[in-house]
């Protein structure tokens, strides 16, 4: 791990820009200092808990704070409206963007209605419809990732869950428009990457992004789901590690104690991050932007030679 090296290259400034709103520079500097240290097992688990906190802001909580004039678009134009995925049009700082995000529910009724943020293949079809609309009109695409994973159910399989996730990634790889993905809670595996192949990927300080849930990993490798803490410490789903590994492009700071402690401030910080990311990619020619996007994913991974 070259965590500190990579983070020192960042100089921390990337994290600070655009966050002038509260003037709590000292606190942000604190966060940076903490980020420079490799997160401990306890800190990783704290992020797992904060990412799943029942009061954590969800996609629509950010939409109402970040986008003006939001108009929600429903349905996949084939079968159904998957409510675990929200799509719509809105104004970001006066400019029309398309929003695609997973949505969890707050109370039991809404949770069931939103299927706990776990999309069916129809949800990814809905997302792809919104992506195509954005591309057709040159609207930037902003995605928000917050899912334990794609739904593992009989009907979901019969309707082609694996293929839907693959095609959604392919659709994002083809887009001409600027794209920004934000991991705002749980970035759960294939269900997350399906809408996270973007020019810029932002990750909130206490979000997690992982190949499998801590419980799932523990059940397989430790043969005991209650060893989730150990599993999380081993596969490191926290933002600092994701940044270090080149999986995300920037970390968006959260209010002290986590995004749920102050959703308004969390939203302002996220908005600033999205605007900054868009600013970095806006001026590029569409072909060049797409080439860079693909190149970024093409080189991901760590290899050795025998």
Partner 1 sequence: MSSEPGRVDVEVESKRPAEPVDGKSHPNTCPECGSHYRDDELAQSLHVCPQCGHHFRVGARERIEQLADPGTFVEEDEDLRSTDPLGFFDLRPYTERLAEAEISTGLGDAMVAGRAEIEGRPCGLTVMDFGFMGGSMGSVVGEKFARACERAAEDGTPLVSVAASGGARMQEGILALMQLPKTVVAIEELHESGGSLISVLTHPTTAGVLASFASLGDVTLAEPGALMSFAGPRVVAQTTREKLPDDFGLAESSYRFGHVDAIVQRSELRPAVGQLLRLFDKG
Q: How many residues does the chain have?
A: 306
Structure tokens at 27: 């606190």
Contact flag: residue 169 with partner 1 (CB under 8 A): yes
> In whole angstroms, what is the distance from residue 243 CA to residue 241 CA?
5
Binding residue (CB under 8 A) for partner 1 from 23, 158, 285, 287: 158
Residue number, 19 or 213, with CB nearest to partner 1: 213
For the record, the structure tokens of 240 come out as 């600092």
Is 220 among the residues that bind partner 1 (CB under 8 A)? yes
With both helix axes pointing from N to C terminus, report the angle between 161-174 and 121-137 in degrees, rounded to the nearest 10.
Answer: 10
From the list 10, 16, 132, 221, which residue makes contact with partner 1 (rule: CB under 8 A)? 221
- To partner 1, the closest distance from the beta carbon of 35 in angstroms equals 17
Question: Is residue 130 involved in binding partner 1 (CB under 8 A)?
Answer: no
Pick the binder of partner 1 from 56, 236, 271, 289 (CB under 8 A).
236
Residue 247 lies near partner 1 (rule: CB under 8 A): yes
Exposed e or buried b per residue across 122-133, where buried means at least 16 C-beta atoms within 10 angstroms of its C-beta: bbbbbbbbbbee
In sequence order, which residues have a C-beta less than 8 Å from that of residue 283 and are 6 or more positions away? none
The reply on whether position 108 binds partner 1 by CB under 8 A is no
**288 closest CA partner among 207, 199, 169:** 199
Decide the pairing of beta strands 68-73 and 85-92.
Answer: antiparallel
The reply to whether 132 sits near partner 1 by the rule CB under 8 A is no
Q: Does 235 bind partner 1 (CB under 8 A)?
A: yes
* Residue 185 touching partner 1 (CB under 8 A): no
Minimum distance, C-beta of residue 67 to partner 1, in the bound complex (Å): 26
> Which residues on neighbouring strands pair with residue 149, listed in sequence order?
none
Q: Does 260 bind partner 1 (CB under 8 A)?
A: no
Contacting residue, 13, 108, 283, 300, with partner 1 by CB under 8 A: 300
Cite the DSSP H helix spans in 40-160: 41-51, 59-66, 108-113, 121-137, 154-158
Q: Please tell me the count of residues contacting partner 1 according to CB under 8 A.
A: 56
| DSSP run (H or E) holding 164 | helix 161-174
281 touches partner 1 (CB under 8 A): no
CA 70 to chain centre: 20
Least Å distance between CB 159 and partner 1?
7
Q: How far is CA 185 from CA 20, 166, 287, in A?
A: 24, 22, 31
Tell me the angle at which helices 228-235 and 41-51 cross, rounded to the nearest 10 degrees: 110
Joined together, the tokens standing for residue 243 give: 């940044």
Q: Answer yes or no: are the C-beta atoms of 102 and 182 closer than 8 Å.
A: no
For partner 1, the closer CB: 80 or 173: 173
Q: Is 298 in the site for partner 1 (CB under 8 A)?
A: yes
The two tokens of residue 75 are 């349905």
Q: Which is nearer to partner 1, 188 or 255 (CB)?
A: 188
Q: Counting contacts by CB under 8 A, is residue 209 touching partner 1?
A: yes
283 is a site residue for partner 1 (CB under 8 A)? no
Q: Which stretch binds partner 1 (CB under 8 A): 18-26, 46-54, 135-143, 242-250?
A: 242-250
Provide, rounded to whole angstroms, the least separation between the CB of residue 265 and partner 1.
27
Residues that bind partner 1 (CB under 8 A): 1, 150, 152-154, 156-163, 165-167, 169-170, 173-174, 189-190, 192-194, 197, 209-212, 216-217, 220-222, 230-231, 234-237, 241-242, 245, 247, 293-294, 297-298, 300-306
């Amino acid at each position: 791990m070259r965590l500190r090296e990579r983070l020192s290259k960042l100089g921390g400034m990337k994290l600070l820009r655009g966050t002038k709103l509260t003037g709590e520079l000292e606190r942000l500097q604190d966060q940076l200092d903490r980020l420079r240290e490799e997160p401990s097992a306890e800190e990783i688990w704290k992020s797992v808990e904060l990412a799943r906190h029942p009061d954590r802001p969800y996609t629509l909580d950010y939409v109402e704070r970040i986008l003006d004039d939001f108009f929600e678009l429903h349905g996949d134009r084939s079968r159904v409206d998957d409510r675990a995925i929200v799509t719509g049009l809105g104004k970001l700082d006066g400019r029309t963007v398309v929003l695609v995000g997973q949505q969890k529910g707050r109370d039991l009724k809404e949770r069931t209605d939103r299927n706990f943020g776990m999309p069916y293949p129809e949800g990814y079809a809905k997302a792809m419809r919104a992506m195509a609309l954005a591309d057709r009109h040159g609207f930037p695409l902003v995605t928000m990732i917050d899912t334990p994973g794609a739904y593992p159910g009989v009907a979901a399989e019969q309707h082609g869950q694996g293929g839907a996730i693959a095609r959604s990634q392919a659709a994002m790889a083809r887009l001409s428009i600027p794209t920004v993905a934000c991991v705002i809670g749980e970035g759960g595996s294939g269900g997350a990457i399906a809408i996270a192949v973007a020019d810029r990927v932002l990750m909130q300080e206490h979000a997690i992004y992982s190949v499998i849930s801590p419980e799932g990993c523990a059940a397989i490798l430790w043969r005991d789901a209650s060893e989730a803490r150990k599993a999380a410490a081993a596969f490191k789903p926290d933002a600092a590690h994701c940044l270090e590994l080149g999986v995300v492009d920037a970390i968006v700071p959260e209010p002290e104690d986590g995004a749920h402690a102050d959703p308004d401030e969390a939203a302002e910080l996220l908005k600033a991050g999205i605007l900054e990311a868009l600013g970095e990619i806006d001026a590029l020619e569409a072909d060049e932007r797409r080439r860079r996007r693909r190149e970024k994913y093409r080189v991901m991974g760590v290899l050795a030679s025998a």
